[in-house]
């Protein structure tokens, strides 16, 4: 039996991860009992309903005991492990759970694989189902002619990249048009309480941007997006997307959104029917920008056929507070902003 001087032990506890986070799931231990750890070295990975992150070692020493096993759900402040400051102990190994694969031995070469669903995927599944269960969701779609935006983008994208270090995609134009359309359509920048007795209309917009990361879909939030121009939006979108994809996004950066945009067109989808990010009342889906042959009326009133860059925009909305006319009116305003276009001055800043 190993004798350990209790005064040389440090208990690793789960730190606060944001005001709205009360518990998390231990997803992976990066060290095993008996391993040497250094101060601030990543010790384990955890997952909340918003983000995956690492917990660093609070001190240097030897990891002598793991208290919370992988897949355990632990509350904030709970003990996770024990680190001993002395190096002469020889702790016994604490086995870590491993992935279990079950297959019929007779069909081993072609058998299916029964992997455990990752915590972040379980959270996404739960939230999507809850969203559909708690609100009446409908989707409205319009088609937008992006000729003006496409010309401006084509003329300035190289200079914009050189000046800002950010590629100028169509997304910040979509975002700006939506943000400018929200004030006259405030029911789409709102939230309902759980009892459906009170609605909060937000004076500004904290814009959520759906981003596909290595561990699943996340929605980082751009604070006070309503006050930003296209250049600022482009930089902010690139920044939060990089953080999601590099797994450096914080919990606080995933909370507090009032309206969300999901750019499914980045994967070639023409349009979809996105699910609302509760407790918001609307989510805008932006489809792929594609060249289509469309009829255009000239100054004489005659029609001609032209190839134009076109895209579908969809708005999924909570029909408990948003009527179909409200949703169509919002999309109509977004369409007007995009088809009227922007100027080079809008790309400054």
Distance from C-alpha of 55 to C-alpha of 46, rounded to nearest angstrom = 7
Distance from C-alpha of 178 to C-alpha of 188, rounded to nearest angstrom = 10
Q: 245: buried, middle or exposed (CB in 10 Å: 19+, 13-18, 0-12)?
A: middle
Tell me the sheet residues that pair with 208. 221, 260
Rounded to a whole number, what is the largest CA-CA distance in the chain?
A: 96
SS3 label, residue 316: strand
Q: Give yes or no for a contact between 237 and 268, defined as CB atoms under 8 angstroms apart.
A: no
Q: 3: buried, middle or exposed (CB in 10 Å: 19+, 13-18, 0-12)?
A: exposed
Residue 44 phi, psi (nearest 5): -155, 165
Active site residues: 319, 323
DSSP 56-74: E-SSSEEEEEE-S-TT-EE
Residue 134 phi, psi (nearest 5): -100, -10
Centre a 10 Å sphere on the Cβ of residue 133 and count the other Cβ atoms it contains: 8
Q: Give yes or no for a contact between 35 and 61, defined as CB atoms under 8 angstroms apart.
A: no
Tokens encoding 10: 């440090």
Q: Give yes or no for a contact between 311 and 144, defined as CB atoms under 8 angstroms apart.
A: yes
Tell me the sheet residues that pair with 307. 293
Q: Give yes or no for a contact between 142 and 335, defined as CB atoms under 8 angstroms apart.
A: yes
Q: Give yes or no for a contact between 270 and 290, defined as CB atoms under 8 angstroms apart.
A: yes
């Amino acid at each position: 039996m190993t004798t350990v001087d209790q005064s040389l032990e440090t208990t690793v506890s789960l730190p606060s991860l944001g005001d709205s986070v009360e518990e998390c799931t231990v997803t992976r231990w990066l060290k095993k009992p008996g391993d040497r750890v250094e101060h601030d070295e990543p010790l384990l990975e955890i997952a909340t309903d918003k983000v995956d992150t690492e917990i660093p070692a609070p001190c240097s020493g030897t990891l002598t005991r793991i208290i919370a096993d992988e897949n355990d759900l632990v509350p904030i402040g709970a003990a996770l492990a024990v680190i001993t400051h002395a190096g002469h102990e020889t702790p016994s190994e604490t086995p870590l759970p491993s992935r279990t694969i079950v297959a019929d031995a007779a069909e081993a070469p072609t058998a299916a694989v029964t992997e455990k669903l990752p915590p972040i995927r379980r959270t996404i599944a739960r939230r999507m189902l809850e969203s559909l269960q708690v609100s009446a969701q409908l989707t409205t779609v319009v088609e937008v002619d992006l000729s003006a935006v496409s010309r401006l983008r084509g003329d300035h994208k190289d200079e914009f990249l050189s000046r800002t270090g950010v590629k100028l995609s169509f997304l910040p134009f979509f975002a700006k048009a939506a943000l400018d359309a929200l004030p006259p359509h405030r029911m789409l920048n709102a939230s309902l309480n759980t009892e459906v007795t009170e609605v909060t209309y937000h004076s500004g917009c904290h814009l959520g941007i759906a981003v596909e990361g290595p561990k699943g879909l996340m929605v980082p939030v751009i604070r006070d997006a309503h006050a930003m121009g296209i250049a600022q939006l482009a930089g902010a979108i690139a920044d939060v997307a990089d953080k999601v994809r590099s797994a450096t996004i914080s919990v606080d950066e995933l909370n507090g959104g009032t309206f969300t945009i999901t750019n499914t067109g980045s994967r070639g989808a023409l349009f979809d029917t996105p699910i609302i990010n509760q407790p918001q009342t609307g989510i805008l889906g932006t489809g792929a920008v594609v060249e289509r042959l469309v009829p255009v009326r000239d100054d004489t009133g005659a029609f001609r056929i032209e190839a134009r860059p076109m895209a579908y925009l969809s708005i999924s909305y909570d029909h408990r507070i948003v009527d179909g006319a409200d949703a169509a009116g919002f999309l109509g305003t977004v369409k007007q902003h995009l088809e009227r276009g922007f100027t080079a001055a809008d790309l400054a800043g």
